[in-house]
Structures are given as structure tokens and as C-alpha cells.
Amino acid sequence: MSRFIITENEKKQIQGLYEQQNYTVKSDELILDNAITGKSNLKIFKGLTFTKSGDNVISSTTTLQFVYGIGNSVVDGPDYNKGLEIAQSNVGIYTRPEKKNHKGKVMYSCSTKKFTTTVSGKNQYEDENKYLSNGLDKVCKGVSKMGQPTLNKSNSSQSSNAKINTTNDKDYDYKLENGKYYYSEKGKNSWVEAQGTGLEAIKKIVKF
């Protein structure tokens, strides 16, 4: 079997089909509730992208806001204190700080299911309605982009007409058997039938 060389971009294209590695916020804006009642909540915006990093999913640097109350009024920061504002207003010494946008990153813990930011200290936030965390949980688990895979039950006894490519890249092996395409983690001989866009990429890039 001749060795088939692929470019780094083609390699990433194949690898990216197996696991969901990032997630982008689709809502125009999204409020994450502070885990401590009475403290300001976190507002993030459409287009923010999260990427898997170890046990966490971390966003790119973005604009964040902190909001409070039923109307989600923008306040000066994560430690806004409504009680202090009322107390100081009663004696005429409180001046509401200028409303601010903050630049920072948002982190989602795959284990605790809570959010933190680089600009709000130890404050933790929760996605009560799961609008965002459901998508990030898929990134945490590395769920297949190709849908639920179909396992080949005859891993130990492949047919004589099976063709296997183990030299395409360092992470996966590929097999063509009875007109169907399969992939397996390198050297594990645990074949999963390719589907959807993953199938099309293997047909295009991997040579048997």
C-alpha cells in the first residue's frame, strides 16, 4: 500500500468531523444567573465562541455586561449591591457609576456546570434554562458531529475484501469494507461506520 500524504488543513478537516470542539452562542443576548441571590447577573452576546480546553470550555475575549433586577438594568460590575445603593441614596451620597462594558473571557466547567469570568472574581453563574449549557455539554463530551455512530459488530472478523489505511494520519485508521467506510482510533481496531459529512470527507481524502 502506498503512503498517501495529506495537508495539515485536510487532516484537521477529518479530525474536526469526529468531535464537536467548539460552540457559538446563537441568541442575540443571554442572561446567566448569579449563583448567589441578590448579586448581579452576567449578560453575554450572540456570536461568542467557546472552545474545549482541558476540563473546561473557554470563550474568546468578548464584551460582557452585568445586569440586575427584573428589567436587567446594566450595572457597573459583578459586585453591584442594591442594598448599598438604596442606603446611600437615602442620605443623598450615592451616585450610580457609569454603565460599563467589560472585556473578558467566560469559562464553563464541564464538572460543576457553572460559569465564571476573568473579570468577576469568584462569582459563579448558572444557565437555569440550559439554553447555552446543553450545547457546551456536547463540547465537554466530544459528541460526534456525524450523529449517533453505527458500530461494526464484526471487529474481530473482517471480510477478505476489506481495505485498511493506517498511514493517512497519526490519530485514526480507516477501512473500506463491502462498500461501507469506517474509522477507528489509531491501533484500536474498533470500527465505527462513517456517516454524513464525515463519510464524504473520508471518501474524498483517504485513499485505499
The per-residue pLDDT for range 43-76, each reduced to its tens digit, is: 999 999 999 888 889 999 999 999 987 778 888 8
Q: Does some domain include residue 2?
A: no
Strands across the sheet with 163-165, in order? 150-151, 192-193, 180-185, 172-177, 163-165
- Nearest Cα to Cα of residue 65 among 42, 47, 82: 42
Could you give the CA distance from residue 65 to residue 121 in angstroms, rounded to a whole number? 14
pLDDT at 1 over 60: no
pLDDT value at residue 49: 93
* Whether the predicted pLDDT of 178 surpasses 70: yes
Q: How far apart are CA 80 and CA 38, in angstroms?
A: 9
Amino acid making up residue 208:
F
Residue 126 has pLDDT above 50, yes or no: yes
Q: For 158-176, how does the pLDDT look when each residue is reduced to its tens digit (9 = 90+)?
A: 666 789 999 888 888 899 9
pLDDT of residue 153: 41
- In this structure, the number of other CB atoms found within 10 A of the CB of residue 84 comes to 11
Distant-in-sequence, close-in-space partners of 78: CB < 8 Å, separation ≥ 6: 39, 40, 42, 66, 117, 119, 120, 121, 123
Residues 197 and 162 in one domain: yes
pTM of the predicted protein model = 0.57
Give the pLDDT of residue 75. Answer: 83
| Angle made by CA atoms 145, 149, 150, in degrees to the nearest 5 | 160
- What integer pLDDT is reported at residue 98 of this predicted model? 62
| Residue 5 reports pLDDT greater than 80 | no
Task: Please indicate, yes or no, whether residues 48 and 102 belong to a single structural domain of this protein.
Answer: yes
Do residues 139 and 83 make contact, with C-beta atoms less than 8 angstroms apart?
no
- Whole domain around residue 76: which residue ranges? 22-141
Is the same domain home to 106 and 38? yes
The C-alpha atoms of residue 206 and residue 150 are separated, in whole angstroms, by: 20
- Same domain (yes/no): 137, 169: no
Angstrom CA distances, 128 to 40, 50, 124, 173, stand at: 15, 19, 13, 41
Domain C-terminal end among 125, 141, 157: 141
* Same domain flag for 32 and 80: yes
SS3 150: strand
Q: What is the mean pLDDT of the chain?
A: 79
Of 71-75, 142-146, 202-206, the range with the lowest mean pLDDT is: 142-146
Whether 48 is in a domain gets the answer: yes
Axis crossing angle, helix 196-205 with helix 8-18, rounded to the nearest 10: 150
